[in-house]
């Protein structure tokens, strides 16, 4: 018989998840305050070959230190470092420390994305136990998906945070869209779909160049975000473990849909930590239409 004082595996996982989310929220003001002096590119590239900003490295090191200190976190991995870091035993935490850091210089919104997996890396979509993103916009907010619910928090400058919206669900009537990649590189079927969406009088373009900002528009107003397959990059730009799975999990938990063009993002299986995938997320009808268009 179980000793009632000993937490079950599920309870321990839940406590670790809460500690990870709490740490991310409390770190958000420190990341934000560290940005002003770190806007420039440095002489380094991330594992995907993109040039790094001083702020990318700063946010990565800060989160690695703090998340790596949590009991029950076994591995820390980040878009900014080639290999996972063994920090203990337990859950695997994957982070995009500053999503959209090219928005630093024009002073536009950016994010931090966190995915918590109960499994070794690279993990599968069904091993996700929670996902979240922080959005550094006019205010700092954090969207969290766990246990079948999405909650939006406002994070105050002192790291305290409070619920802004419980049980976030994607609105029924879509009104915004944002599609990444250069238009000449869109494949014909995607371009036809995009033209259909653009010609719908109820739809407005919202694209800011940071996935988190653009996905937050879609969760707020309903619609669709895509970073599609491209003729010169069939897997698109975004990374499965750091971007595709967590954003798919958040949008699906909020009642929307996600796809890589043929299946839910959560069913994508790639055996490389930094593998990419096309990403389509948003209102279910639009994602269905998108999949039908790509099948033609």
Residues that bind ligand FBP (CB under 6 A): 50, 79, 96, 99-102, 180, 209-211, 227, 237
- Tokens 């967590």 map to which residue? 246
- Tokens 């595996």 map to which residue? 9
98 is in an annotated binding site: yes
153 is in an annotated binding site: no
| 138: Cβ contacts below 8 Å, ≥ 6 apart | none
The residue at minimum Cβ distance from ligand FBP is 211
SS3 label, residue 281: strand
Least spacing, CB of residue 44 vs ligand FBP, in Å: 13
Least spacing, CB of residue 111 vs ligand FBP, in Å: 7
DSSP string, 192-225: HHHHHHHH-TT-EE---S-HHHHHHHHHHH-EEE
Least spacing, CB of residue 168 vs ligand FBP, in Å: 20
62 is in an annotated binding site: no
* Cα Rg, the chain, nearest whole Å: 18
CA dist., res. 43 & res. 98, Å (int)? 17
- Let me know: does 253 contact 152? Beta carbons within 8 Å: no
SS3 label, residue 264: coil
| 217: Cβ contacts below 8 Å, ≥ 6 apart | 176, 178, 206, 208, 223, 225
74 is in an annotated binding site: no
Least spacing, CB of residue 102 vs ligand FBP, in Å: 6
Whichever of 26 and 185 has its CB closer to ligand FBP, that residue is 185
Whichever of 72 and 207 has its CB closer to ligand FBP, that residue is 207
237 is in an annotated binding site: yes
Whichever of 227 and 249 has its CB closer to ligand FBP, that residue is 227
96 is in an annotated binding site: yes
Annotated binding site for substrate: 99-102, 207, 237
Q: Which amino acids are annotated as binding site for Mg(2+), given as ranges?
A: 79, 96, 98-99, 243
What residues are designated binding site?
79, 96, 98-102, 207, 237, 243
């Amino acid at each position: 018989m179980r000793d009632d004082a000993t937490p079950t595996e599920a309870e321990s996982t839940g406590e670790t998840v809460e500690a990870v989310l709490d740490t991310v929220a409390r770190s958000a003001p420190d990341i934000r305050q560290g940005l002003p002096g770190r806007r420039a590119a440095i002489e380094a590239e991330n594992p995907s070959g993109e040039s790094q900003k001083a702020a990318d490295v700063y946010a990565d090191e800060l989160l690695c230190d703090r998340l790596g200190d949590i009991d029950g976190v076994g591995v820390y991995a980040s878009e900014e470092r080639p290999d996972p870091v063994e920090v203990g035993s337990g859950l695997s935490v994957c982070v995009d420390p500053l999503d959209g850091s090219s928005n630093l210089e024009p002073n536009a919104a950016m994010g931090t994305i966190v995915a918590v997996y109960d499994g070794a890396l690279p993990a599968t979509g069904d091993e996700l136990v929670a996902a979240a993103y922080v959005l550094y916009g006019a205010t700092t907010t954090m969207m969290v998906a766990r246990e079948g619910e999405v909650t939006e928090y406002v994070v105050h400058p002192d790291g305290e945070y409070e619920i802004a919206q419980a049980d976030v669900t994607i609105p029924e009537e879509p009104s915004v869209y944002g599609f990444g990649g250069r238009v000449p590189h869109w494949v014909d079927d995607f371009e036809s779909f995009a033209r259909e969406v653009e010609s719908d009088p109820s739809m407005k373009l919202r694209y800011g160049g940071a996935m988190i900002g653009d996905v937050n528009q879609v969760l707020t107003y309903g619609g669709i975000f895509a970073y599609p397959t491209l003729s010169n990059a069939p897997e698109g730009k975004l990374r499965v473990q750091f971007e595709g799975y967590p954003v798919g999990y958040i949008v699906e938990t909020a009642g929307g849909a996600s796809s890589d063009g043929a299946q839910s993002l959560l069913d994508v299986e790639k055996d490389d930590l930094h593998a990419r995938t096309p990403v389509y997320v948003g209102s279910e009808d639009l994602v269905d239409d998108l999949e039908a268009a790509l099948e033609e």
